[in-house]
Amino acid sequence: MATHNKFKITVPATSANIGPGFDVLGIAYSLYLTLDCERLPAGSGLQMTYEGEGAKDVPLVAEKNLITKTALYVLSTYGITSLPPLKIHVTNPIPLGRGLGSSGSAVVAGVVLANAAGNLQMTNDRMLDYCLMVERHPDNVAPALFGGFVASFLRELEPEELDPPSIPRSEPTRNGAAQPPTPITDIGHYIQLGWTKEIKAIAVIPDFEVATEDARAVLPDMYQRADVIYNLQRIAVLTTALSRTPVNADLIHKAMADKVHQPYRKHLIPGMAEMLETITPKTFPGVVGICLSGAGPTILVLATENFDQIAGAVQEIFTRQPNGGIKSIYKVLDVVDEGAKTEYFD
């Protein structure tokens, strides 16, 4: 394969845990992390610059930045001990720690970077294996890698396969256990589902963070059978209803209800319970569904019209909360069919 001097990597933002699809359903948005890369002469070091969300805090050292240390891990399994000399400029509009898949997109970008920089010629399915060694949530990395509306699951792994010593994790581990550095195959499985283009996404992002580990810590170890059945019934309906035209807003709104994670996390996101109760297709025409995006705190509203009014309603509830405030609002995000891609230039 020819080596190109310049290439550009693009990875979409994502929302996971769509409605009842906790750890199952994710969507990719028209909001992109990009890496503009240029090969440098032999003997040069890595030159990395960064703009956008987290610019003041994101490390630019290869061994500490999540993108490049993920790339280093992938390359190491091919016997390559360092990144080739590169100039990398990262542009990141995805807010960090807000439930829009920023770590998942960074991990995907790192695996794709290794594939391009090292001419590894991995398939997308093999790249998914590497992504899942770092980011253990396929409902984020699968839509970021493949695009669209995606259902996914992990196959059951042996205990020794779970927590690696030499693999960068996108969130802290509790046990520090060890794992071989080279991924086994077929760690995750996925399918791209239908999505009607009439439905757009509104993401309202409050001015505070919720760490994924903290959001998972509030979840119970065991669930009532009735609650599990409740979610299973709705996910079966939702995955088909979101692909149908004309859009059945009332059906989708009912099918996006959840009893597995949102009730336990509502105290972490002040105002969320009120939003879920009051922002409906009846109170705000155009609303199709509403849920927490990922582990939060971003609120995701699916809608077909009246985007400004709906976003304003979510914003108003957030700003009424103690220490409430809005970081940013993305009013009309498309669900995009294409995931991570690499464009090569001579």
CA-based end-to-end distance of the chain = 13
Cα–Cα dist 266/269, whole Å: 5
287-292 and 200-206 beta bridge pairing: unpaired
The maximal CA–CA distance of the chain, rounded, in angstroms, is: 64
Sign of CA dihedral 117, 120, 124, 130: negative
Backbone angles phi, psi at 68, to 5 degrees: -75, -35
Tens of pLDDT, residue by residue over 276-321, are 999 999 999 999 999 999 999 999 999 999 999 999 999 999 999 9
Tens of pLDDT, residue by residue over 91-112, are 999 999 899 999 999 999 999 9
Which pLDDT score, from 0 to 100, does residue 247 have?
A: 98
Residue 136's pLDDT band (cuts 50, 70, 90): confident
Which pLDDT score, from 0 to 100, does residue 163 have?
A: 56
Which pLDDT score, from 0 to 100, does residue 181 have?
A: 58
Residue 313: helix, strand or coil by DSSP?
helix
For the chain, counts of helices (H) and of strands (E) = 10, 11
Closest to 201 (Cα-Cα) out of 117, 103, 307: 307
Q: Determine the average pLDDT of the residues in 182-207.
A: 93
Reported pTM: 0.93
Closest to 153 (Cα-Cα) out of 202, 105, 204, 189: 189
Tokens standing for 205? 């992002």
Cis peptide before 246 (omega within 30 of 0): yes
Tens of pLDDT, residue by residue over 167-192, are 666 654 444 433 335 788 889 999 99
Query: Is the separation of the CB atoms in 89 and 49 below 8 Å?
Result: yes
Residue 331's pLDDT band (cuts 50, 70, 90): confident
Tokens standing for 73? 């891990």
Cα–Cα dist 220/331, whole Å: 33
Which pLDDT score, from 0 to 100, does residue 177 have?
A: 37
